[in-house]
Amino acid sequence: MSRSPAHERGPVRLRDVAELAGVATGTVSNTINHPERVHPRTRVVVEDAIRTLGFVPNQQARVLTGAASSVIGLVVLDVESPFYMETAHALERAVRESGNVVMLCNSEGDLEREEALLTMLAAQRVRGALLAPATPDAHADRYLNLPGNLPIVLLDFDGGDEHCSVTVDNVSGGALAINHLLGLGHTRIAFLGGSPNLRQFRQRAKGARGALQAAGLDPREHLTEVSVSGIGIRDGQQAAELLLESGVPDAIFCGNDMLAFGAYRALTSAGLSVPDDVAIVGYDDIEFAKDWVVPLTSIRQPIASLGQHAAQLLLEHSAGDDAHEHRHVVLEPELIVRSSSDRRRATTA
Amino acid sequence: MSRSPAHERGPVRLRDVAELAGVATGTVSNTINHPERVHPRTRVVVEDAIRTLGFVPNQQARVLTGAASSVIGLVVLDVESPFYMETAHALERAVRESGNVVMLCNSEGDLEREEALLTMLAAQRVRGALLAPATPDAHADRYLNLPGNLPIVLLDFDGGDEHCSVTVDNVSGGALAINHLLGLGHTRIAFLGGSPNLRQFRQRAKGARGALQAAGLDPREHLTEVSVSGIGIRDGQQAAELLLESGVPDAIFCGNDMLAFGAYRALTSAGLSVPDDVAIVGYDDIEFAKDWVVPLTSIRQPIASLGQHAAQLLLEHSAGDDAHEHRHVVLEPELIVRSSSDRRRATTA
DNA sequence: TCATGTAGCGCTCAGCTGGTC
DNA sequence: AGACCAGCTGAGCGCTACATG
């Protein structure tokens, strides 16, 4: 009468194990959750039964009886963007270390889709959600009335008093880039990414202007801001081509690394050398940056740290701790100098 | 007595809605699942109550009562590899179109981790799992006794009679690349990726040898196979540097695009021009390929199609259809010619 | 025709029985 | 006889289906 697990219909239940072991269901439950409460003799019998039947407890039923869910939702804008994927990976790592798992969802920058996903996650009664808002400029209000009051932590987005958040200081990152370029003697600088509708880019531009002012230079004179329509290589290339029509700057600071790769293509196509004619600085320091044809100087976001903080905030937040204080963690980016801005730098690292 | 959803403790239950609406729980359930069975007047009342309470049905409880889960697990080797991410995205898209959601898990090429993830997915009672096996050479046997007999579909891995699978013909892809290079007049070809432990690479190499033979050329004479230790840009660069020590080939066919980028770096560092001195062909046609400094000729995997087939197979498989016939879908790759092998080609596309 | 009541999905936990020393 | 421990029983988690009114 032994039924091979692989050929059964429907999953094995606790009760099946109990029957085979000749004990009550509660005893099986106990050997799984409180082994010390059950006599070693019985325990062995039950464990054998579990093994021969290939029993895997139904997590949904467990959660229904009050156990905390071990699933954490992660909603990102764009699963294909290298930066978001690296971030997702870091988050996954941090979440895993806490014994939970990530359910990765892609909002594709669509507000409705984001809402649908949050509802879905609430319906799944996940433990909480990490959310990289889909809107360039969503009001924090947007997340005030979450479906099923799902605990969330906002990524790279300041949620005001109502939510926890982990952000990286974009203003400071912009300043970092500009100060580096000024230090190299460049004063005719372009910022590629002056797209009006992306908050991160706007903040980086603000940091850039601030750094120029702090150095006693008028941004209107020394910083040309160029809009981009998207955030990919092509967009960067087009924008840089446009920029070159009105003169060659000393340096181009790009809103992200993909744009920087595009700028590189435009410059070399125009017969210009990087960094001799024009220096380039990117942003994000994605994996590709260090291995680009000319290794790219970039502003590195502290992804691993971001993941850890976000995971920890969410776990605290969802711990059921009644009076939860919403916290905001702000992390600092870091300048990584490579040969796209400074020929003296080694190719590696 | 109206409790604002955002300030409640614990999620709203069906019963809360029923109380507020002054009906029985069954009626609320009906207005959600079988609206036609409930009187319009009552329906409005219930719907109002649902809205004011912000009620989101507990999906776990639903599944417990027999509903099919709408979660599909996706286990991949490496969430940071561009190719896997593009594949994951395609799968997600296909799964979403079927009204389900993906739970993305990262096995990181680790067998134990893969097993733990499959058990976790079984415990979550997901509808099924899509699995890109973590082993270079796992026996299909490995997946014979799955925890909780989780329905699975194998990706890019032939599971024999015991599982459904969707694969792309790597042998044919290898041949495609070689025939293209032969057509350009190249006969001293290197295959970069002769790593002995990656099945995909072995199959591509096999296709390459076959194509040479079919053209009446002895592979031992015309094809130099170079091992790589990994699958990243650095690995490709190192392998290509090593290769150049023993002479410059007409063309390099790489096991994937990242290796090809690395080979490109090695060639240009050595003062060689692509494609004039050496042609390069990659594999996978990742997003980056078309925008590399010299746009890369590559073998494109039909990712979208792979996603659709895999999702469909899994849905069929998990439909509970008793006598399920395991099916194997084999897709054909496609040659995308760009300027890394043929200067006459436009930069775009 | 429409709403109600109830059983039960798989599991856990508090409370209990009954056998031992 | 009282203390104790192993294991059993049953209610209930949130929801749906089905048989009634």
pLDDT of A164 reads: 92
Q: Do B132 and B164 share a domain, yes or no?
A: yes
Contact of A147 with A119, CB cutoff 8 Å: yes
Q: Which of B280, B301, B322 is the last residue of a domain?
A: B301
Q: Do A132 and A196 share a domain, yes or no?
A: no
Q: Do B273 and B129 share a domain, yes or no?
A: no
> What is the arithmetic mean of pLDDT over A93-112?
89
**pLDDT for B347 beyond 70:** no
* For chain B, percent of residues with pLDDT exceeding 70: 93
DSSP line for B268-316: HHTT--TTTT-EEEEEE--GGGGGSSSPPEEEE--HHHHHHHHHHHHHH
Number of domains in chain B: 3
| Each residue's pLDDT tens digit, B81-112 | 889 889 999 999 999 999 899 998 888 888 89
Handedness of CA B51, B7, A307, A138 (dihedral sign): positive
| Each residue's pLDDT tens digit, A67-89 | 999 999 999 987 778 898 899 99
- Measured distance CA(B249)–CA(A282) in Å, rounded: 35
Assess if residue B345 is contained within a domain.
Answer: no
Distance (Å) from the alpha carbon of A312 to chain B's nearest alpha carbon: 20
| Each residue's pLDDT tens digit, B17-27 | 999 999 999 99
**pLDDT for A126 beyond 70:** yes
Q: Do B188 and B283 share a domain, yes or no?
A: yes
Cβ of residue A64 closer than 8 Å to a chain B Cβ? yes
Cβ of residue B141 closer than 8 Å to a chain A Cβ? no
Assess if residue B289 is contained within a domain.
Answer: yes
**pLDDT for B345 beyond 90:** no
Q: Do B291 and B257 share a domain, yes or no?
A: yes
Closest residue (CA) to C1' of nucleotide D14 is B61
Residue A159's CATH number: 3.40.50.2300
A6 vs B contacts (CB less than 8 Å): 144-146, 149
Assess if residue B311 is contained within a domain.
Answer: yes
Assess if residue B28 is contained within a domain.
Answer: yes
Q: Which positions on chain D have an atom < 7 Å from some protein CB? A: 5-10, 12-19
Q: Give me the helix-helix angle, A40-53 and A14-21, nearest 10°.
A: 120
A22-26, A207-211, B314-318: range with lowest mean pLDDT: B314-318
Assess if residue A16 is contained within a domain.
Answer: yes
Distance B27 CA to C4 C1' (A): 8
Assess if residue B62 is contained within a domain.
Answer: no
Q: Do B94 and B204 share a domain, yes or no?
A: no
**pLDDT for B194 beyond 90:** no
Mean confidence (pLDDT) of chain B: 90
Assess if residue A177 is contained within a domain.
Answer: yes
pLDDT of B137 reads: 62
Contact of B121 with B103, CB cutoff 8 Å: yes
Contact of A119 with A113, CB cutoff 8 Å: no
- Measured distance CA(B143)–CA(B157) in Å, rounded: 11
pLDDT of A325 reads: 82
Q: Do A27 and A144 share a domain, yes or no?
A: no
Cβ of residue A92 closer than 8 Å to a chain B Cβ? yes
Q: Do A232 and A284 share a domain, yes or no?
A: yes
> What is the arithmetic mean of pLDDT over A328-343?
96
**pLDDT for A116 beyond 70:** yes
Q: Do A144 and A193 share a domain, yes or no?
A: no
Q: Do A161 and A247 share a domain, yes or no?
A: no
Assess if residue A197 is contained within a domain.
Answer: yes
Residue A52's CATH number: 1.10.260.40
**pLDDT for A320 beyond 70:** no
Q: Do B293 and B323 share a domain, yes or no?
A: no
Domain interval for residue A19? 5-57
**pLDDT for A144 beyond 90:** no
Closest CA to A86 of B237, B85, B236, B109: B85
Q: Do B163 and B177 share a domain, yes or no?
A: no
